[in-house]
Homo-oligomer: A and B are copies of this chain.
Amino acid sequence: MFMVVDDLKKIDIATGSEADKLAATIKNALDKKHLLVIIGRCSVDYEGRGKSRLESGDRIVIVKQDGSVLVHRPVGFAPVNWQPGSARITIRVTGGRGLELVSVRASPREILRVVFEDVYIVIVGFGLSDAGEFTMYVDEEELKNIIEKEPSLVEEGLRIVEREYRIGDFYVDFYAKDKMNNDVLIEVKDEKAGVGSVVQLYKYLLEAQRRNMKVRGILVSVGFSREAAMLAEKLGIKRVEINPKEIYAKYIEEKRTGEKSLERFFSGKNDN
């Protein structure tokens, strides 16, 4: 087969039956710490903490920029063999068409050997940049659900009286009472709170005080800007910083148990 490939960005391709040329391409990619994807027919041996042999078949082998090696079969979520990024990788030509990729990990001592009988394609990704942040998060709505169910996350002894509480033209996230039975207005932010958030809550508090409520404010957020923290301090607004990971864990927990009880409900197995 013959193919003209146009408009290629950040990608190089090598094909053909000349193992030494493929090896050179791979070696160069490894040296420069480029992303490497090899699709071909290979067998794999591993020995270290365990010991395995994978007989010959078509596989996709990925070597990442940090040296992680993944051997994937054409089906299944999990790699059949792998090696973490700390290992040293070598490539060499064996016989005529053969190509052998070996990854040796120092501690624990582990060796992964991929022997290619036939390489269909070598793909090199160079200049790939991935700075995108990865977050497992709860959005503001869910965060408020969690707080409504567990107000003690905000303050010990707190009881929610009303959610989306209206004061004049405004809506505040929660109207609550603390353990001294005093009124509290609570505003929740799922992002780092700035001065604007403090001002917003302060306006609610002023409006409430105009209506003769004796009320204090709590601003709940994953974080506060320096300015927001200072302003809140000055205005007597309490800051409660929540731990996103902790909240996320609670959210997952809720979700799981919620689904469980829902399943039981629909299958008529609820024991009410």
Contact = CB atoms under 8 A, between A and B. Distances in A.
B64 A75 contact: yes
A129 interface: yes
A56 B133 CA distance: 8
B74 A130 contact: yes
A149 to B, nearest CB: 17
B80 A85 contact: no
A255 B49 contact: yes
A62 B10 CA distance: 18
Q: Which interface class (under 10, 10 to 19, 20 to 34, 35 or more) fits A?
A: 35 or more
Interface stretch (A119-127, A163-171, A173-181): A119-127
Interface stretch (A11-19, A202-210, A219-227): A11-19
A193 B182 CA distance: 82
A73 B132 CA distance: 10
B76 A66 contact: yes
Nearest to A251: B51
How many copies of this chain are found per oligomer? 2
Interface in A110-141: 118, 120-121, 123, 125, 128-139
A250 to B, nearest CB: 12
A55 to B, nearest CB: 4
Given A7-B15, A68-B77, A252-B50, A132 B43 contact: yes
Given A57-B130, A132-B54, A137-B52, A74 B80 contact: no
Contact of A52 (B43, B73, B121, B136): B136
Contacts of A70: 72, 77
B120 A74 contact: no
Contacts of A256: 49
